Amino acid sequence: MANLHFHYGTMGCSKTAQLVINAYNQNKNGNKTEIIKPKLDNRFSENMVNSRIGISAPATVLSSLDRWSPAPDTKMVLIDEIQFFRPSDIDRLVHIADNSSVIIMCYGLMTDSNEHIFPASRRLIEVGAKLHRMESTCQISGCMRLATHHLRFDATGRVVRDGDQIAVGDSNYKSVCRQHFNMMYRGHGEKTR
């Protein structure tokens, strides 16, 4: 089994739920896990990872992974919202994965709402993490195509095409298929909410 994994998908594809389930199953089987989340992610709580479906687990909150090491008896590390870490943090994970038997499972977004890959996600690809695409369907009513993109909306329901791409939470986002993304992002800012 590869030691470094990247589970990625759009918002709402159950990344955090799968992380919590994975940690539960490993702990139940006697394999100690550690859950980590970035300090930036405080949308539901300070020290928990929380899935939208209502399951959660305690987490260690870190600003950086540069000086972090897993506990000696840890078998698996699960990291939520990996896209909010830095490329140097990914290099630290590579060092741990390559020099120990600890399995590292990263969960997060690949791209932002302007189709730009997050730097930490890019680094995971560059270093050869095993990729696992998590799928969900487009959130535009009636569409059943694969959600591959995120659209960000302002308070009036218009598509946001520029500005800060790190906005924690999902109240102003929709996960959409490529066709709806191209129609609305490259179109005239149609209201969809």
- Over residues 41-50, the pLDDT tens digits come to 766 667 889 8
C-beta of residue 113 within 8 angstroms of C-beta of residue 150: yes
C-beta of residue 62 within 8 angstroms of C-beta of residue 19: no
Residue 95 belongs to domain spanning = 4-133
**What pLDDT is recorded for position 189?**
47
Flag whether pLDDT at 130 surpasses 60. yes
**pLDDT band with cut points at 50, 70 and 90 for residue 40:** confident
Beta bridge pairs of residue 105: 5, 78
Place of tokens 């890019």: 122
Least confident interval from 34-38, 90-94, 171-175: 171-175
Flag whether pLDDT at 191 surpasses 90. no
Q: SS3 of 111, please? A: strand
Q: How many domains does the chain have?
A: 2
57 and 115 share one domain: yes
C-beta of residue 146 within 8 angstroms of C-beta of residue 137: yes
26 and 98 share one domain: yes
14 and 106 share one domain: yes
CA distance 168 to 81: 10
User: What percent of the chain has pLDDT above 90?
Assistant: 71
10 and 96 share one domain: yes
**Domain end (from 114, 133, 152):** 133
127 and 151 share one domain: no
34 and 122 share one domain: yes
83 and 109 share one domain: yes
pTM of the model: 0.89
Mean pLDDT of 103-126: 96
